[in-house]
A = this chain, B = another copy of it.
Amino acid sequence: MSKLGKQTWWFQSEPRVVTTGTIAGRIESEGPLGSWFDIRLDKDGMQSHSWEQDEQALFNQTAILTLQKSGISPRQVDLLIGGDLNAQLSGFYFGLRDLPSPSLGIYSACSSSTEALALAGLALDGGVAQYVLTGTSSHNSTAERQFRYPTEYGVQRPPTAQRTVTGAGMALLGKTGSEIALTAATIGRVVDYGITSPWEFGAAMAPAAEDTIIAHLQDTGRNLEDYDCIATGDLGHIGHKILRDLLHNRGLDPGHRLTDCGILIYRPDQPEVFSGGSGAACSSLVTFSYLLHQLQFGRWRRILVAATGALLSTVAAQQGETIPSICHAVTFERKDASS
């Protein structure tokens, strides 16, 4: 393990993705990536007594699915790392409480997926874990009622709004596994451009994505062209355009290699998706299904996943606070079969 520049961790032992698991809600399953998800729900959630319990069940089932695909038993998992958008991480802690592994809850809103992956890489590369199970969940109805209005209230949403993804995505990482390696992580800084509207996440997060992508390139000495795909977390259509403008101002043109998990997950004509998807599960669902499969199939060799988090707090928003944002990025690369 070593450090590149100021913000990037390089995982020299090249920890591997063993298996991934994805369970997607109804709207997500009807989207363009539907066929890539392991389990596609025909109703949102699993119909427990509450939306929160639905989300916990989603997270739990995704963990079990990911482990079942691997043949690794829950007791072999050295570490669980994850988070969700619910206050006090009830998705993660309640959903996975019957698993017997040491657990680390983390939170950086919708960049929790890559924060968890970065720490998984650190633990594996540092030799304190053989297997780490990591991932995130989100649920449209738990997030809407927490951050904005209960969905039952039927409030009209502006076109800048993004739809919080329902689902959970997890990955089991190990010292050996598939040909896909987690090779580096760039830890983001908090960036606050003064956006206050909880409907404007894309604008709030785009400068954080720019900051981390630029730091990653500087730290690694690479160019945008060294990546087959650079996928931000969930800037949506509006935030994605802002990020392109910000990069353009630096003389950088990412072309088609720059995409966004929030754009990929929905068709623009799906109902009420507006600017695209968001939520802690948006980047984990897209990364652990569509993106990693492109590496697995050999279509791509190296990708950068830069999940973005709007660090909105319910109370802070009501107090008129701005929305600080953050972006953590990880690189996945296709290597020869498990070394």
A interface, CB within 8 angstroms of B: 1-3, 6-7, 9, 49-50, 52-53, 78-79, 83, 86-90, 93-94, 96-97, 99-109, 115, 118-119, 122-123, 125-129, 146, 187-190, 192, 311-316, 319, 321, 324, 326
Contacts and interface: CB of A to CB of B under 8 A. Distances in A.
25 contacts: A1-B127, A2-B128, A3-B78, A3-B129, A50-B319, A52-B313, A86-B315, A87-B87, A87-B313, A87-B314, A89-B107, A90-B315, A93-B311, A93-B313, A93-B324, A94-B324, A96-B190, A97-B192, A104-B118, A104-B119, A105-B106, A105-B107, A105-B108, A105-B115, A126-B126
Contacts of A53: 319
Q: Which of A123, A128, A319 has the most CB of B within 10 A?
A: A128
Contacts of A83: 107
Given A52-B313, A87-B313, A122-B128, 5 more contacts: A3-B127, A9-B126, A87-B315, A88-B312, A119-B119
Copies of this chain: 2
Nearest to A215: B102
A53 B6 CA distance: 30
Contacts of A106: 104-107
Contacts of A312: 88
The 7 closest A-B pairs by CB, nearest first: A87-B87, A102-B187, A90-B313, A88-B313, A126-B126, A97-B190, A93-B311
Given A89-B107, A326-B103, A6 B190 contact: no
Contacts of A321: 90, 94
Contacts of A1: 126-128
